[in-house]
Amino acid sequence: MRPVMCGICGWYHYRSGRPVDGELLAAATQRLAHRGPDDSGLFIDGPLGLGHRRLSIIDPAGGHQPMTTPDGRLTIVFNGEIYNHRDLRAQLQSKGCVYRTRSDTETLLHLYREYGLGMFAHLNGMWAFALWDRDERALLLSRDRLGEKPLYYSLAGGTLSFASELKALLALPWIGRRIDPRALAEYCTTLYVGAPQSILEDVRQLLPGQCLLFRDGNATFRQYWNALEHLDETRDDRSTAEANIRELLTSSVKYRLESDVPVGAFLSGGIDSTLVVSLMRRLVDGPVSTYSIGFVGPGLFDELPHAEETARRLGTDHHTFTVGPSELLDALPDMMTQLDEPFADSSALPVYYVSKLARTRVKVILSGDGGDEVFAGYNKYLGEYYYRRFLRIPRPLREGVVVPLLRALPESRATPLLERFRQTKKLLRGHGRDALGRYLTWLEQFDSAMRSELFSDSLKRELGDYDPTAPLRQAWTAGARRDPLTAALVADLVRGLPGDMLTKVDRMSMRHNLEVRVPFLDHRLVEYALSLPAEFKLDGRNTKAILKSAFRDLLPDDLLRRPKHGFDIPMGHWLKHELRDLAEEMFSRKAVESRGWFNPDYVQRIWREHLSNKREHNLTLWILMVFEMWQRTHL
């Protein structure tokens, strides 16, 4: 199988019909060179132009894009991987389709000709593609079910424009650069901008599981896959469910191992990456190469010893790299360039470095991402369990003693104990709210009161009564017909996973020309997991319960007992030391007023409180700093 990790872009001047400027198309495509440094190609058909950058692994000539059918009717640019390509190829050949290459790109062309918009039901993979139908004068855009691959588009200037990354669209003179106030509010609330919005008013993102068909001057959107369609609860008993999960995850890993080049794996030593590597060891001959990042410095929690112990136990060819504050800070400018929307999830930093490390030896990596969202692995999913126990405390004791005591706890992720304190305080913030409100407290970085203080009067006027948590509320409510846990999982699958987790994995890995495959996001596994009863996934305080029991033979006791710990950079320390000069300038009254988005009095106050150790505002200040760095880099 040929991995086709790429960057795509193009546009269709549907209103004017003017010919595409080839030099401009080449310039926009060049902005995606980091996604595909080995090959490039352009296709122009009057007012329609397609551009492609390719990371070639085998058969460079056979996989060249844009790819056109022999009759000249269909042309495609494709970023991604179709894992069941061989199965589909055999089926299509039995129907009389003739292949000229070994490429899964060609399979997409045959599928479209055979099934039209019904083609997506046949695909197992990750993708973003644009397909031009010359005879119908129609342009089809599509994004994979879970949103592993990005796809931006715009209808500005009488032109349908699209690209894998926003930076390519910023090369086009008809794309405006005005920031979307609603997207800014969402970023401040969740750390990212989720589809269908983008940070710019003129640009939108295709939703995961969505396609756009543009014909006769009209754009038609179709949601060909929706997580909500898979919520009917299965009647399978627990032992049957365990067997099915084991079969599905094993099949998913096997699919993603298909490659003509060696495939490695990220290994953190946690449950998900350990399972992926364990299955790889059973499915391949010889040792598996694994990659981990360690951290040194104040406030950094280092999981490298756990990863090294797991690698030793599994007999992998393990590679590590240890970074400290200077390396992490050195990466920030490059990260701001690659993350061409504001993105304040600091865990992008380790993904940046582990991708850089892995690319020195392999081009393809498997990761354990998605396991927490699919099988309820995050500590936040325990919130309802602990909240019910919290309410059992007699009210006078609870409100008079326990609540004040909990509010006095410090917030940090530097040690497992401090991480527990942080989680407890998050739980307390949901006290007195309904189940949806309690879920939102785990995700909101700025609640409505904080947003009111932070946002400038002009920004608040533009926002009106817009609620940046509305997309999360809508997703949670749709899943709540089952139970609160399923509601939270659905919201995380359709919002947080593509907006946060998959964004950082795609941008940081593609910066280093690395293809990352995610076995836990095989749609067959996701659909089955959605149908499972909540108690199969969360059994008391036992997160990912059924995943652990299904693979009990592959998970050592010490791993099952170890508490989950997220990554956190020592931002409070950096802001007072390594980043202080930059922060002083960015948070100055003059700088804040010149942008006009935020209230300078509020920004100045929290900055002074932070410097004086009166109160820590680590994440708040980091969100503001990232947004300012993004503006300076891209606008």
In the sheet that 204-205 helps form, which strands lie side by side, from edge to edge?
39-45, 48-54, 6-12, 160-163, 152-154, 204-205
Q: What's the chain's average pLDDT?
A: 93
Phi, psi of 564 (to 5 degrees): -75, 140
User: Quick one: pLDDT at residue 428?
Assistant: 83
- Is residue 9 annotated as part of the catalytic site, yes or no? no
Residue 58 — pLDDT band, cuts 50, 70, 90? very low
pLDDT > 70? residue 367: yes
Task: Give the mean pLDDT of 86-106.
Answer: 95
Residue type, 457: D
Residue 261 — pLDDT band, cuts 50, 70, 90? confident
CATH value of 6-225 in 3.30.1330.20, 3.60.20.10, 3.40.50.2000, 3.40.640.10:
3.60.20.10
| Least confident window among 75-89, 342-356, 407-421 | 407-421
pLDDT > 80? residue 43: yes
Task: Give the mean pLDDT of 398-426.
Answer: 76
Query: Using CA atoms, how far apart are residues 504 and 502, in angstroms rounded to an integer?
Result: 6
In the sheet that 210-215 helps form, which strands lie side by side, from edge to edge?
67-68, 74-82, 125-133, 138-143, 210-215, 218-223
| Least confident window among 117-126, 149-158, 320-329, 484-493 | 320-329
Question: pTM above 0.85?
Answer: yes
CB-side neighbour CA atoms (13 Å) of 217: 5
User: Quick one: pLDDT at residue 299?
Assistant: 58
Q: Choosing from 6, 9, 188, 211, which is the catalytic residue?
A: 6
% of residues, the chain, pLDDT over 90: 80
Query: Using CA atoms, how far apart are residues 166 and 343, in angstroms rounded to an integer?
Result: 13
